[in-house]
Structure 1
Amino acid sequence: MRATINRLARAACAALATLATLAAFVALVTFSATMVLAAPPALAPVLPGQVLAFPRDHGAHPEFRTEWWYVTGWLETPQGKPLGFQITFFRSATDHDRTNPSGFAPKQLVIAHAALSDPEHGKLLHDQKSAREGFGLAYAKPGDTDVKIDSWRLQRSQDGRYHASIAARDFSLDLQLVPRQPPMLQGERGFSRKGPRPEQASYYYSQPQLQVSGSVSRGANRDANRDANRGSQAQAVSGTAWLDHEWSTSVLDENAAGWDWLGANLDDGGALMAFQIRAKDGKKLWAHAALRDASGRVTQFGADQVSFAPVRRWRSPRTDASYPVAQTITIGPHAWQLSPLQDDQELDSRQSTGAVYWEGAVTIRRNGHPAGHGYLELTGYVKPLKL
């Protein structure tokens, strides 16, 4: 009798195992079919002639593939010590089905980078975060600037002021940024070409000459999700900053390796933006520059009027990449000389965007005379950049 019962029990277990396997197979087939039938979302193209409207276009544009809010600037302590800082929030739309009701569905990704340049430290202090949007923990809101990951946040208030709060691994930033000028629309009233084909473009505006006040703390944070900091006291700082906001769906040519970009606040109240897209053979694929003088008049310069020439290179001891950290940019009749606050301003973001790039504070001279301060970004020097 006991043997018979054991045989029946084993048969029942085998049957249940078979049913479980069959159920798992059916679930897998159903899931696979759903994934095949769910078409990726249609993303919006960048088209000329669109009118940027504010404050709406200060906010997120989730119908486009890629977007970023990029703040860079020069700070000064009460003792006159210079510091550079970078705060960047990225939003990236995925190909996940937008109709999926799950709060865990990764429809939008949010990524952030933060960096502090301090010549006394010798190399860049930097940190990064990434998360899927959701549950109030990570988001990029439409309507006006409000982007967040955990305790990191950049928000614009109705009076136009920005507040940036960053509790990074080795430092914290708590900064107020106040516009003193209207937005500077890049390219053709905000339609910025990035290559030889019209679809290789972005919507792009800048906010130069932001007046900055606030505090910087250094030391290891006890908790990366809190503003608590040990090992140093908050130090008051002031200075100027530059904010770029850009969104697009298709930007780079398939032959592009990366870019060199400059945003500079000039001492006379003007602003200078210049960039070149480099091909994989190192030659210029596309370029553009815009100069706004102190009166607000903007002069645009085409690709044939803009050239970047390395003056001195720095080789990274970590990646062996050679970066042209000192350059001369010729824009129309003028030559602009760039010198770094410190050579080592390489940022490794392989845990978030996957790229390693150089983003550094630089001083600006115009035809050999002191002219201002800015930030130089150098991408694609470790390997070709995929955006």
Structure 2
Amino acid sequence: MQRREFIAMAGAAVSPLGSPETAFAAPADTSVRPRPLVFPADFGAHPATRTEWWYATGWLQAQDAASAGNATAQGAAPALYGFQVTFFRSATGLPASPSRFAAQQLVFAHAVVGDVAGRRQRHDQRIARAGFGIADAAEGDTGVLLRDWSLRRAGAADASRYTTRVASERGGFAFELAFAATQPVLLQGEAGFSRKGPKPFQASHYYSEPQLRASGTLTLDGKPLAVQGRAWFDHEWSDHALADDAVGWDWIGINLDDGSALTAVRHRRADGTQFYAGGSFRAAGGPVRNFGPDEVRFVAGRRWASPASQASYPVEWAVETPAGRYRVRALFDEQELDSRGSTGGFYWEGLSEVRDESGRRVGLGYLEMTGYAGRLRT
């Protein structure tokens, strides 16, 4: 999936999707090309690539309410929360140096909790150079750290268990969550080689772990709540995540209620037309059906104007795929993120529902929209 404009650190202008514009400029230099993904090694970091992210989203409810089948004892709908935690690793492209202070890799992180009933999103962000025990993206398996925020994986490759810890005094939230795999790893694209455009180097390595069973503790304003729910995990690494002809993308990752997993993405030109598209569908226990670039169509519906960035985001979509036609609707509009303190710029990312053609809600997941408040810089 993603990310934003330029920041300055250690004297280098660095793109959040990687290094300075001059580094990794030659397509022949890319290390991202068709190959089998190997686990657990590919769960870990790939520091030779320009950019990488580990991304978990999902929904949470109080454990008692969620166990009772989405209703409280009084019959009222239980509180529903969306969450996101993303760690980014970005190669600066600076020349190799024996100095431990040389910023060869940067680590960024975003964490979000969305209160659906309260229509409130809490957000925090961090950035640091890798090293000194402050920030790290480990090779060999998932292990990312940024001060006291962390995301780690354990277990067999086909039975992952992730744990994440985040605490934000400024945002008034914290969570300690565990995500347990209920399905095999889903390889996106051609066996994990996911194209972002027609040219061979416009691609990433990309896999997902949908339908993760989530549980743990969510703390809001000092009040802890035992929660459980469903999560979606993505890991993606690339040298060329966005073609020059594109300004951003629209993406959904949806856990459907019947155990299926739906991914759809389109990359947009400046005039809003579709530059490239893709995605996948996997029924519970079934094979993956990957979508070709001409098999996915996003049609914008109702829009919401951000008072912070002045960007106008489509918060309702009709999404057409070979697996069916769906209506995607944000559960509340105010889910824009201001990431100017880390990866730079604004983007919209939030908990959304999916309905089938009859209007029946069939799943929950995340919608992400980038490039609406300015071209995504990669």
State TM-score, norm by structure 1. 0.84
Q: Give CA deviations for 1:186-217 in whole Å, capped at 9, x if unaligned.
A: 00000000012111000000000110000111
Shift of 1:340: 1.2
Residue 76 (structure 1) aligned with residue 61 (structure 2): yes
1:11 corresponds in structure 2 to none
Q: Give CA deviations for 1:92-115 in whole Å, capped at 9, x if unaligned.
A: 0012122x1111110000000000
For 1:62 and 1:187, how far apart are their aligned partners in 2? 22
1:109 corresponds in structure 2 to 106
Shift of 1:121: 3.3
Partner secondary structure for residue 385 of structure 1: coil
1:52 is matched by which residue type in structure 2?
L
2:327 is matched by which residue type in structure 1?
Q
Shift of 1:332: 2.4
2:162 corresponds in structure 1 to 162
2:343 corresponds in structure 1 to 353
Which residue of the other structure, out of 362, 367, 376, is the alignment partner of 1:371?
362
Residue 318 (structure 1) aligned with residue 308 (structure 2): yes
For 1:68 and 1:191, how far apart are their aligned partners in 2? 15
2:376 is matched by which residue type in structure 1?
L
Q: Is the 8 A contact 1:177 1:210 kept in 2?
A: yes
Partner secondary structure for residue 310 of structure 2: coil
Shift of 1:40: 6.4
2:100 is matched by which residue type in structure 1?
G
What is the number of residues matched between the two proteins? 336
Residue 56 (structure 1) aligned with residue 54 (structure 2): no
Partner secondary structure for residue 190 of structure 2: coil
2:37 is matched by which residue type in structure 1?
L
For 1:186 and 1:381, how far apart are their aligned partners in 2? 25
Q: Is the 8 A contact 1:264 1:271 kept in 2?
A: yes
For 1:285 and 1:267, how far apart are their aligned partners in 2? 31
Q: Is the 8 A contact 2:232 2:255 kept in 1?
A: yes
For 2:364 and 2:24, how far apart are their aligned partners in 1? 42
Shift of 1:48: 3.8
Residue 275 (structure 1) aligned with residue 245 (structure 2): no
Q: Is the 8 A contact 1:46 1:201 kept in 2?
A: no
Q: Give CA deviations for 1:295-354 in whole Å, capped at 9, x if unaligned.
A: 221112212111111121111111111101111101126211111121100000011111
Q: Is the 8 A contact 1:209 1:240 kept in 2?
A: yes
> Greater helix share, 1 or 2?
1
Partner secondary structure for residue 57 of structure 1: helix
Q: Is the 8 A contact 2:32 2:239 kept in 1?
A: no
> Which runs of 5 or more residues in structure 1 are unaligned?
1-38, 220-231
For 2:173 and 2:213, how far apart are their aligned partners in 1? 21
Shift of 1:370: 2.0
1:133 corresponds in structure 2 to 130
Q: Is the 8 A contact 2:339 2:346 kept in 1?
A: yes
Which residue of the other structure, out of 172, 175, 181, is the alignment partner of 2:174?
172
Identity of aligned residues (%): 48
2:369 is matched by which residue type in structure 1?
L
For 2:343 and 2:23, how far apart are their aligned partners in 1? 21
2:199 corresponds in structure 1 to 197
List, as ranges, runs of 4+ consecutive aligned residues in structure 1 with deviation greater than 2 Å.
Answer: 39-44, 46-49, 119-123
Question: Which stretch shows the higher mean deviation, 146-155 or 331-340?
Answer: 331-340
For 1:176 and 1:214, how far apart are their aligned partners in 2? 6
For 2:32 and 2:312, how far apart are their aligned partners in 1? 36
For 1:372 and 1:333, how far apart are their aligned partners in 2? 14
State TM-score, norm by structure 2. 0.86
Shift of 1:47: 4.3
Residue 309 (structure 1) aligned with residue 299 (structure 2): yes
Rg larger in 1 or in 2?
1
For 1:366 and 1:121, how far apart are their aligned partners in 2? 26
Q: Is the 8 A contact 1:108 1:132 kept in 2?
A: yes
> Which runs of 5 or more residues in structure 2 are unaligned?
1-21, 66-77
RMSD after superposition: 1.6
Shift of 1:122: 2.4
Q: Is the 8 A contact 2:262 2:279 kept in 1?
A: yes
Q: Which has the higher contact order (CA 8 A, sep 6+)?
A: 2
Q: Is the 8 A contact 2:80 2:117 kept in 1?
A: no
Q: Give CA deviations for 1:45-94 in whole Å, capped at 9, x if unaligned.
A: 14443110111000000000000001000111244211100000000001
1:95 is matched by which residue type in structure 2?
G
1:248 corresponds in structure 2 to 238
1:67 corresponds in structure 2 to 52
